[in-house]
Every structure is written in C-alpha cells, then in structure tokens.
Amino acid sequence: MSADLSVRNPNNSPLLMADALLRASGGMVVSLLVAPLTTDSTDAGQVGVNAPNFQQLPLSPATFRKIRVAMQDDQLSQYELLISASAVQQQVSALQLASADALFDTAAGVEINGTQFVIESRSVSEALGQVYLYRLFVREAHAWLQPVL
C-alpha cells in the first residue's frame, strides 16, 4: 500500500517563487536597523549622550509600496514592505539568532532609499509550514517624532 504524499512534499518552490516575484516587481535592497553587537562603554555612551550607531543589515529582494495615501493633514501614509524569507534567514543565521521573530524584535526600524521607517506590524506568508515571505507595515520615522499641537 502506498500513500500519495505529493501535496506534502517539502521543497523550496514557494521560497524560490517569492524570490522571483520580488525580483520581477522591483527587487530592491532595504536595510534593517538593529542595535550594534558591541555597546559604547564610554561614560557618555553609558548615560545616553552618544547616539547609537545602528547596524544596517541588507535584505534583498524586497518590494516597497504605499498602501494608504494621506487624505488629511493629520493622517499619515502607510506603506507595505515585502521581504524574501531567504534574505531574512540569511541575517538570522549570520547573527546566530533563534528565529526571524528575534531579529525583527531587536530592529529599530527599516531604511528604504535613504529614508527611515518604523515597523508597525509584521506577518508571514507560508506554504506547508515553510515561511516564504515577510510582510511589514511601516510608517516614516520622522512622522512619529513630530509634536502634536
């Protein structure tokens, strides 16, 4: 008696397809901003006088688009960033982290074309238990720093 396991055959097809689609739709490089591995041990660094220099971890292929346009002055635009799971997994392995969640939890934001963005939320797309795409909802970082009048 043989079982048909074709629908449960684990392979990298979804991951390869996501990489190809992201490259075909722009395939840009974005940088995840994470705290440096070594801390500033000077007195000024310990009390927070020196601003931390964040590590920029390149992630590619990625696609970036605006998903909500600001219709009023007080409304902020919202953006979507799609990142290949293979790029995220490379950085997880390089930093010897337990998971992609650990990587994103330590991130201060994302730099895209020289502009810094704050990560509002994230989700994953998966097939047969294998993550092939990370979806981040982001807003421009400077918009969060503006005083409310």
pTM, entire model: 0.77
Least confident of 5-19, 57-71, 85-99: 5-19
Question: Residue 94 is inside which H or E element, if any?
Answer: helix 85-94
| Under 8 Å between Cβ of 122 and 128 | no
* Domain ranges (residues) in the chain: 13-39+52-140
What mean pLDDT is reported for the chain? 81
Q: What tens digit of pLDDT does each residue of 16-51 get? A: 888 999 999 888 999 999 877 666 666 666 665 555
Confidence of residue 147 (pLDDT cuts 50, 70, 90): very low
Nearest to 130 by CA among 42, 9, 15: 15
Q: What tens digit of pLDDT does each residue of 70-86 get? A: 666 666 778 999 999 99
Using DSSP's 3-state secondary structure scheme, residue 105 falls into helix
